[in-house]
Amino acid sequence: MAVDQEAVVSALGTLPLTGNEEGLIPAFGLYLTRHYAAYYNDASYAYLHAAHAQGDEAVKTARSALIEAGHICAFNTFGGIMVSQEWEAVLGPMLDSRDDWVHGIVAVINALGWGKWRVDSLTANEELRVSIANTYESTGYLASHGQSEVGCVCFLAAGGVAGIMNLLYHGDIMSKPALSQAYYDELFRGTGAFVGEETACRAAGAERCELIARR
């Protein structure tokens, strides 16, 4: 059974995602936040621009750190979602294969307000290509800084696509492992991990942001 993207987005919209008296939104076994995208963008791009003023080595460090934030987000958020009861309730009957899980988590991402993701191609255990019509990162960059003179800027998305592949094809999120620091290190810091790269970015003039994850 193929993943019905529209049905998933619609179903997730019915889940009770409201805050409690402690100011937290417990859902998917996580704590969600309703975050101002511009706040995160401002911090990210202030760091990126400061690095550019410092030189190539600083730029390399900054880009790597911002993508690493995407890895950590993907591991905890996407990983947490994929072992949750909400995932089972909404997507369980649609998931026959490991590839279905990739399409499933992309459907969930599309319900979270990060932009409209589309899987352009998936080669199991080798490569994932995603394009995004409206990443909050490129949208925010264009609004605050205009067209990018520092290249692609969708760092969280780049870490995210790598995270999806690492959770599913480098690790085995389908077996519901504990999302521990040791497991994170195994998936993202060991040999053979998938790495995300943004090859085209709206902020730098492309029509869509294009991302690839491969080993």
Partner 1 sequence: MEVLVQKDCLGGERKIEVRLPRAVELPDLDRVEGCEQRTVLHSLPRPFFRLDVPGSFSLSGIIGEPRVRFTVRLAVRERAVELALAACERMMEPDP
**Chain positions contacting partner 1, by CB under 8 A:** 11, 14-16, 20-22, 24, 26, 29-31, 76-77, 80, 84-86, 88-94, 178, 180
Length of the chain: 215
- At its nearest, how many Å lie between partner 1 and the CB of residue 93? 4
Amino acid at 69: A
Comparison of 38 and 89: residue with beta carbon closer to partner 1: 89
Comparison of 76 and 134: residue with beta carbon closer to partner 1: 76
- At its nearest, how many Å lie between partner 1 and the CB of residue 85? 6
Which structure tokens are listed for 123? 């080669």
Comparison of 80 and 140: residue with beta carbon closer to partner 1: 80
Which three-class secondary structure state does DSSP give residue 6? helix
Interacting residues of 115 by C-beta distance below 8 A, sequence separation 6+: 132, 133, 134, 135, 136, 139, 157, 209
- At its nearest, how many Å lie between partner 1 and the CB of residue 175? 15
- At its nearest, how many Å lie between partner 1 and the CB of residue 41? 22
Amino acid at 148: S
* Through-space distance between the first and last CA atoms of the chain, rounded to whole angstroms: 28
Comparison of 84 and 134: residue with beta carbon closer to partner 1: 84
